[in-house]
Structure 1
Amino acid sequence: MWVANGESAVSDHGANLKPGVSVSYALPAGPLRRYISTYSQTVVAPGSPTVFDQVYPEWPNIRLTAGGDMAACTGPGPLQPCNPICAIGPTSHSTHFSLAPGRYWTISLLPLGWAQLVGIRAAEFADRWEVIGRESSFAAFAPLLDCAGQDDDFTSIAARFDAHLLAMLKRPARREETILKAHDALLDPEVTTVDAFAERAGTGVRALERLSLATFGFSPKLLLRRQRFLRSLSQFMLDPSLAWIDTLDHQYVDQAHFIRDFRRFMDTTPGAFAAAPHPVLWAAAVARTAIAGKPMQVLQRPSESV
């Protein structure tokens, strides 16, 4: 487990880490790592003010709290309560959120995890949140709330998450190897076209389109565009002293090209994003890189999760 908090200045993120906020990460048990990338715990200390932040587009997540108060909105709009446990599908817009003093946990699903543990068509839940109730498509995740509420020791909580999620595993997901190949291809910076994406996945373009919408949530073209953008944003997250021009992925024609993508995926400008406080995001980037090798869930290869 690795922790970043506002009491320790870590590299160039030090000025962005907020006292009273800490973020910890842990890897799931080995058999889960092709389905789940990480578990995280965010703590906003008692007496601290509510924190506000935004997170870049991601793969799906299960988020929960025991005694805290969280609200969120993907894309423009007002924050909506999402207590005590909610599911969010794959996103193509940033998610704004608030966390009152309390403890919060995130179980980050990889695309194969969505196919295995959820099973509904990912495009139907893209850019959407849902509080998990008895009739929810995510009802099988509801017992995770009990796993988190028993004590404050994150190592013990992660072990209970493992036990519950391992019990949810059934036979291998349909098209499991194709999903893994497609995921691996998506993360290769040299894969720049849908044709190349399909070839690397070992399938046709039309089949890739169906697979992408069912498991990844978006069309192959949008997935490639999102990945290009997030590779660039991750460089800034690891070193906020960089100028944006120094973070650009090689696929960008110029800075204006990148700014258009920034507005599309983050619903704001690069300058406004850099100027805003990010008390959770920067701490998460430090802690996640230390434990998983990547600052973002969406940059983690399936091969790095096995």
Structure 2
Amino acid sequence: MMTSSLRVSEYNSDGLRLRLVRPPPDLAPYLSAYYRTELDDGVAVEDWLPPEEANLRTGEASIYTAVIGEGPLAPVPAAVLSGPTDRVTRVRIVGGKFWGIGLTPAGWTRFIGTPASEMANRFCAMGQTAADRSLHAMLDQLRRDGDDLAAAATLINRTFRALLGEQPEAEATLQAVHRGVLALESTSVRAMSAQIGLNARTFERFCKRHFGFAPRTLLRRQRFLRSLGEYMLDPSMRWIGSLDMHYWDQAHFIRDFRATMNMTPSEFAALPHPVIKAAVSVSNMNGGVAMQALYHPERLARPETGL
């Protein structure tokens, strides 16, 4: 199959190749991207990844270890369901090929179904949750025969379209909350809950179920990611130049950074970031954002011809 009809962004440097495929419009509210990562034999990468939304991943490597938050690195299963995170994920990979599929909060609700809070800051082997068997089968096929980008994208599209079914009753509210979380002007949980039409306690339960975290945590995460995203787009700038407008001062940002990444901004800047560099490059080219958790599903859900 030719890949000319795919909307693909590519990064290729130092034995690391990352290709990001944009989902078709009907799946864009639920899936942020499909990404193919390839590491040449013997090439080792280590990185400290910022918070992100949930995703599905599958692949094989000489070494593939990770940990969310603090603790020792542990082997990553061949087919993985990873929940949303609000803290650093450290990874170390040597050689290998992988597929990943980013899930929006609406995608988690539609295709996974369990409360997102149960998988917050966790990853597990597929089969340990109630996720549909067809997702596991799709990941197995991608792992065995995922070299053809167009064929893989077709498989992913076909699998998720078969699972769409009827729109969940909560989806309109979910999308409204997602828009609120992403909005630059959103700073008040009380104002957001009032705008959505939910009382404070119901709003908090709703966010934990569909987004994995309380609304205050979601707003803090977006503020942090907007700042880190600006810096990663241009690492030559000083941190002060990348700060989100809602930080009181640089000390406020440093406290958030340490709580999220287990290190200071200067310590982070001194480390190599091959995976983040590749991800920021292809995400920005493809969707106009620097990181997965900044992806706005409605921005790309417009009529186009998809696979």
Deviation at 1:150, TM superposition (A): 1.8
Other-structure match for 1:83: 77
Listed as ranges, the gaps of 5+ residues in structure 1 are 7-18
Tell me the equivalent position of 1:136: 129
Q: CA shift at 1:143, angstroms?
A: 1.3
The alpha carbon displacement at 1:68 in A equals 5.5
1:136–1:68 Cα change, 3 Å: farther
SS of equivalent residue, structure 2 residue 92? strand
1:184 aligns with 2:179: yes
Amino acid at match of 2:208: L
1:47 partner SS = strand
CA-based RMSD of the aligned residues comes to 1.4
CA displacement 1:104-142 (0-9 Å, x = unmatched): 111100000111111111111110110113x53335321
In the alignment, structure 1 residue 269 sits paired with structure 2 residue 276: no
Name the SS for the 2:19 alignment partner: strand
Does residue 291 of structure 1 match 2:298?
Answer: no
How many angstroms apart in 2 are the aligned matches of 1:64 and 1:151?
10
Match of 1:72 among 54, 66, 72: 66
Please report the TM-score for the alignment, with normalisation by the length of structure 1.
0.91
> Structure 1, residues 217-252: CA drift from partner, whole Å, max 9, x if none?
111111111111111000011000010000111111
3-state SS, counterpart of residue 250 of structure 1: coil
Contiguous gaps of at least 5 residues in structure 2: 1-7, 302-307
SS where residue 162 of structure 1 aligns? helix
| Partners of 1:182 and 1:200 within 8 A in 2 | no
Deviation at 1:163, TM superposition (A): 1.0
Residue-pair matches, total: 292
Aligned with 2:158 (options 159, 163, 173): 163
Secondary structure (helix, strand or coil) at the match of 1:242 reads: coil
Partner of 2:102: 108
Quick check: 1:30 aligned with 2:25? yes
| Correspondence 1:196 to 2:191 | yes
Q: In the aligned structure 2, how far is the partner of 1:80 from the partner of 1:100?
A: 14
Partner of 1:16: none
Q: Cα–Cα, structure 1 residues 105 and 69, in superposed 2: closer, same or farther, change >3 Å?
A: farther
One-letter amino acid of the counterpart of residue 258, structure 1: F
Contact 1:2 1:291 in 2 (8 A): yes
Give me the whole-angstrom Cα distance separating, in 2, the residues matched to 1:276 and 1:159.
37
1:252 partner letter: Y
Q: Distance in 2 between matches of 1:203 and 1:159?
A: 39
Output the amino acid matched with 1:214: R
Q: Percent identity?
A: 37
C-alpha distance in 2 between matches for 1:305 and 1:211: 25
Cα contact 1:56–1:93 (8 A) shared by 2: yes
Counterparts of 1:67 and 1:24, CA distance in 2: 17
Task: Provide the residue aligned with 1:221 in structure 2.
Answer: 216
Task: Quote how far apart the aligned CAs of 1:76 are.
Answer: 0.7
* SS of structure 1 residue aligned to 2:218: helix
Runs of 4+ in structure 1 off by over 3 angstroms are 66-69
Is the 2:112–2:132 contact (alpha carbons within 8 Å) kept by the matching residues of 1? no
Judged with a 3 Å threshold, the aligned counterparts in structure 2 of structure 1 residues 232 and 276 are, in CA distance, closer, same or farther, namely same
Q: Secondary structure at the match of 1:130?
A: strand
